[in-house]
Structure 1
Amino acid sequence: MNTKINKLRIVLTFLVVASLLGCSNVKKDSIPWVDLFDGKTLNGWSKIGGNANYKVENGAIVGVTVKNTPNTFLRSDNMYGDFILELDYKVDSTMNSGIQIRSNSFENYMNGRVHGYQVEIDPSDRAWSGGIYDEARRGWLNPLEGNEEAKKAFKQNDWNHYRIEAISDTIKTWVNGVPASYLIDDKTAEGFIGLQVHSIKDHQKEGTNIIWKNIRILTDSLEKYTTKSPLNPIVTKNNLTIDEAKKGWELLWDGKTTKGWKGAKLDAFPEKGWVIEDGVLSVLSSGGAESRAGGDIVTKSLFGDFELKVDFKLTPGANSGIKYYVDTEINKGPGSSIGLEYQILDDALHPDAKKGNHEGSRTVSSLYDLIQADVNKPINPIGEWNTAYIKSINNHIEHWLNGVKVLEYERKSPEYRKLVSESKYVKWHDFGELEKGQILLQDHGDLVSFRNVKIRSITKTAKE
């Protein structure tokens, strides 16, 4: 009897263990992964950017280098915002490559050049595989300096596994299970995924392969499957990128205090009308009246030749501006201080878009009341961030919006002075012709927000 009971117990134990193992497998297999590559064809993918070749061999995508072509990408036809991506790849030790995520290609941006986040594939001695590079935009955002464990995780001439989590403003990467990058940045929320075949130089061998397989993505219930990273995050908001620091950029606003700024018609920063919250500087609404909330604010420093970058966010029907070569000693009465203005406006709802002595010259990114910006400018929807860029070197000035040049002109030229003579600025002698001036953020009575205010002063040596 005891023998039979023991046998029964063994059988029952076996069944319980098998059942538990089966449940474990079911749970594992229930993760809703979606394959982006069927192992047989390139269905769902398109080539873009260059002329390198892509083919399918032995259940993998093979990218093949060719000479005399720019970077080439095999991009997903679908666009992705928040996701977890996993894939395997093998790369020749002589080749740099990368995985594009949240990337885009627009006709008016560098003639369609692919741009966006790239998870680096770097078999060189630098060993920054898993780092995050901003292709055709800001350069390195999260290199692997100081992360020796991640640098050692990459395997030369062998298969490597990437895990990439892009959720909200956070991007995390792992190389063969080792945490590599942890970036907080909200420049782009959605785009395609791309497999890069880098351009090659004359001394490099044509026909070199980069191979990818087991490409799968997760877009549902991401909070259940996200992985904690032990790394300290790199935060880009109100900080300089590596490339900016190397090129001499400085923060014009530190993201926390009023240091370096004051009211345009005050000795100190306005006590009301402006707020700083979560790294964002906002001018409050006062019903659309000019300089009535807290008044314009200006830099305490003066700038001659410069490059200026400012992120701005509009609310419906809002009006504001970024002024440069400002002299606060001019127009001490009511209204805004005087200077050249990069217009910030909701073109669809604000009536100013249809006003001005020069048609369209009061629309967003225009030189206010003087020169209209390109009508095909890439403006993001109201409530989303846009980036203004102003460049002034040797009186040649350019306005850019979200990486696209929208106008240019020659300050102090006969053509410029003619435009001034036909505008509201005609009453101001030598308007906009200061050698140096302040930078101004305008209070036009509407809620408008600013962040990532950065400037690069151009010296005579740099210009030469």
Structure 2
Amino acid sequence: MLRFPSRILFGCLLVGLLFTSSAIDAATVDAAEKTGAHNIPPKGFKTLFNGKNLDGWIGMNFHKVKGKSPVAVQMLSPKERKALLKKNWEDVKKHWSVEKGELVNDGHGVYLTTARNYGDFELLLDYKTVAKADSGIYLRGVPQVQIWDTTKEGGKWKRKANLGSGGLHNNEKKGKHPLVYADKPFGEWNHFRITMIGENVTVYYNGKLVVDNVRMENYFDRKRPIFPTGPIQFQTHGGEIRFRNVFIREIPRKLPLSGILKNGKPVGDGWVAFLQDAENAQGGEIEKEFWTLKEGVLTGEYQGGKKHHYAYTTKEYGDFEIHAQIKMTGKDANSGFHFRVDPKTASFGKISGYEVDMGAVPWGWLQHVGGDGNIQKCSKSLVKKAIKQNDWNHFYIVAKGDYIQTWINGVKVIDVENPRGPKKGVFALQLCGGKRETKLEMKEVYIRPIKTEK
């Protein structure tokens, strides 16, 4: 609590969406075959491979890094990660190329990986391969939608290759093998449409349903769910494979029930009215010169200067969800909502911890102040959709373990897992220094701790 001492201190809709997308998907494939105009995305999709070069891609083999997982790569320092990416890119250039609008791998080398991570999405792609080749499509960095030689001569019938490609091969339970055989002969193009929502995956292969809304297991740690976000990867495994028409449509993650306000209050039990209790119990620290707390509204005003100024709590929180109404006004105003701040660094000048940034450029960015800096940026188009300038904005933040999610006015702006980030700490609000004028107001703050699962 804030203490103020002398310094004041989804059902039918989903089916409809999939049916509509399937029709668009089929029409796009047919049109491309007839006109020869490939690598042009259908409406609502974005191009992952532009048909010209490898822009937007990196090289990454998570299983070859010490620790053998995406988490191990995330735990690398920025310097170590940069060196790894540089090394991997040299390998990419040896084994991956672009020929006549086709993305070509010689069967060897590092896996081609999107530079961006994705959460829920629909992925379209064409591929063709050769005899005895083996490959796969990794979703959120996890193996895999299987691609292989399904003939007896391919030598993998003991591993059920005769059942066909398209299954979630690394699942130990449901979905390991495709529902039907749908592979085309060598030399012909095969088409995938893969939908991933939450932990579940649906795969259409050459127009046939081969995986039906199956939970994808986390190959790297089967005791935990699959990663909430991660890259798309193309596996290399012994034979030439070609890709084209690689498109993606991101599916927005909707606000959960606990993120909804009803009559100005969150739904469910266990919520604490934060500022109201802080005002009554006197718990936290602010500077009287810059901050006031009156009738449940915390207000900060700053005409600019060399230092930042903060209001922060004394109580620490680990996993939590929090609602807050925040309004920022002023010339070139800039601020930030901080959480999991190291109490040892909490002062009226500089602190270390997470920050959801607010300002002309970094609205909605997640930063690890005093750590690795920018963790996830928010696009200008998303900011325009989410933010009400000079007005009240509803922030809903969920921090559970390494997974950080933030919605502003119901629009998700942060969705990232960051193992290098802080695990617990205090909350803080910032008045940013510099040549600017900032007035920041916060009210209707409700917080609910999340119990750690054992």
TM-score by length of 2: 0.38
Higher RCO (CA < 8 A, seq sep 6+)? 2
